[in-house]
A and B are shown apart, each in its own frame.
Chain A
Amino acid sequence: MAIVRFPALMKFYVDNQSEFSVTGSTVKELLDNLVVRYPTLKTHLFDSNGSLRRYFNIFVNGVHIRELNGMDSPLNENDKIILMASAAGG
């Protein structure tokens, strides 16, 4: 299982947790499993075409999935996934 870290403004949808474990052998599988567990997340994370919304970024062990294999990037036990959203506050 990989460990997923959530941004503060999304914590509300995941029982106020900031970090928890999710199964999945790829990023896509992990997100699918996440949405099964927390259905209200779906429309927040994905657009109507099922693509990840562009104001989110996903990092696996500190590397952007754009530099890996996108949503098909493979995951290993204890990988650290960071889901990051834009924030404007200042």
Chain B
Amino acid sequence: MLPELSREEILRYSRHLLIPEVGLEGQRKLKNSSALIVGTGGLGSPVALYLAAAGVGRIGLVDYDVVELSNLQRQVIHGTSTIGKLKVDSAKEKLQDLNPDIQIDIYNEPFTSANALRIAKDYDVLIDGTDNFPTRYLTNDVCVFLGKPNIYGSIFRFDGQLSVFYAKEGPCYRCLFPEPPPPGLIPSCAEGGVLGILPGTIGTLQATEALKVLLGIGEPMIGKLLLYNALDMSFDFVNLKKNPKCRVCGPNADIKELIDYEEFCGVPGHDHGVDGSAGAGLDIPALDLKNRLSPAGNSKLILLDVREPHELQISALPNAINIPLGQLAARLTELDSADDMVVFCKAGTRSARALELLVSAGFKKVKNLKGGINAWAMDVDQSLPIY
């Protein structure tokens, strides 16, 4: 039995009730339905706002971050007044203001193999709004094991991807990506940037797919993938089939339960988990670098900035050589492997990769500025902005 709508709800949802594909019965279906949104960031913001406004009866939010100033360029569910608050609390407040008739369940914890099945089992659909590979593989496997649709979206700079992975009727995320890329290869939004509107575009498409699945109308993107580019305003659709060799949903699947996804992907299950460290004694803290550069310190020290040229306009260190990471392999001849060298980028991720390259090319006296130029701006030169 579907729940009835109150007089207020009938007025609130009247524009839905006018559409024959939704109507009173569809709206009651939505009231009876539930969606779990994994991540309350760029994608999770529009998904949560629109599903709440649309009247999905119960919405779950999983996140353990707090709202930061640098989130607000795209994470529109939060606001300047909620900086420093838990994202799930900030989001819940906004959603209950938008629609007090629905239930919001919050999970202020990382989504992990230990809690994911328990959290997800009572929801009709999952929406993947996470910012890292371990949680994406986890969300996929949870959906395969529980037989639930996974409304997938991902974003980078001007590019977005959208699909509905539903192993009962089509391929899953692992059918498409059997293995994650090696750690550090694919930059995160924190490292590579993202157009603030892009999660709005992809997130509202995810919300649309979620509603279609919950209502059982239209043609959900099962077995189809959208590749969107905002600069060209191009929408490319490709077809996806189940991968017969898929290790979670194929006929010979050998993964039968949740695994250790951080180990599988070789990275922590959160975007800013990379602490800008190269490890193995290869790091130099910003304050130590300051001493090395002082007149009493070592005479010759090369500073190598591996950021993109446009980032130098935000902050820069004097006398640093700029060779972007992507060009480093081809431009090694411009450097002397006998020199003392400190490599840096924004936060230490790209420079750690540069260091691997340099060490394998025979450079022995290279160090990584731990935490990048942002750490320098925090600890040494407070006149520089942090970005």
**A interface vs B, CB < 8 Å?**
5, 7-9, 12-13, 18-19, 40, 44, 53-55, 57, 59, 62-64, 66-67, 82, 84-90
Binds A, one of B41-49, B50-58, B214-222: B41-49
B residues 327-348 near A (Cβ < 8 Å) are 329-330
Q: Say whether, besides A40-B330, A62-B239, A63-B239, A87 and B158 are in contact (CB < 8 Å).
A: no
In the bound complex, CA of A54 to CA of B322 (Å): 32
In the bound complex, CA of A32 to CA of B238 (Å): 23
Residues from chain B with a CB closer than 8 A to the CB of A67 are 239, 241
Q: Find the B residue at minimum CB distance from A53.
A: B181
In the bound complex, CA of A55 to CA of B179 (Å): 6
The reply to whether A82 and B236 form a contact with Cβ atoms under 8 Å apart is: yes
B residues 135-174 near A (Cβ < 8 Å) are 136, 153-159, 161
Q: Size class of B's contact patch?
A: 35 or more
Q: Find the A residue at minimum CB distance from B325.
A: A12
User: What number of residue pairs across chains A and B have CB atoms under 8 A from each other?
Assistant: 103
The reply to whether B176 and A85 form a contact with Cβ atoms under 8 Å apart is: no
Mask: chain B, 342-385; 1 = CB below 8 Å from A; 0 = not: 00000000000000000000000000000000000000000000
The reply to whether A57 and B188 form a contact with Cβ atoms under 8 Å apart is: no
Residues from chain A with a CB closer than 8 A to the CB of B43 are 90
Q: Say whether, besides A18-B229, A90-B39, A90-B43, A54 and B177 are in contact (CB < 8 Å).
A: yes
In the bound complex, CA of A53 to CA of B179 (Å): 9
In the bound complex, CA of A65 to CA of B243 (Å): 12
- What is the distance, in angstroms, from A73's C-beta to the closest C-beta of chain B? 14
Residues from chain B with a CB closer than 8 A to the CB of A44 are 185
In the bound complex, CA of A86 to CA of B140 (Å): 14
The reply to whether B243 and A89 form a contact with Cβ atoms under 8 Å apart is: no
Mask: chain B, 29-71; 1 = CB below 8 Å from A; 0 = not: 0000000000101111000000000000000000000000000
Q: Find the A residue at minimum CB distance from B224.
A: A62
Which listed residue, A13, A40, A66, A85, touches B181 by the CB 8 Å rule? Answer: A85
Report if B180 contacts A (CB, 8 A).
Answer: yes
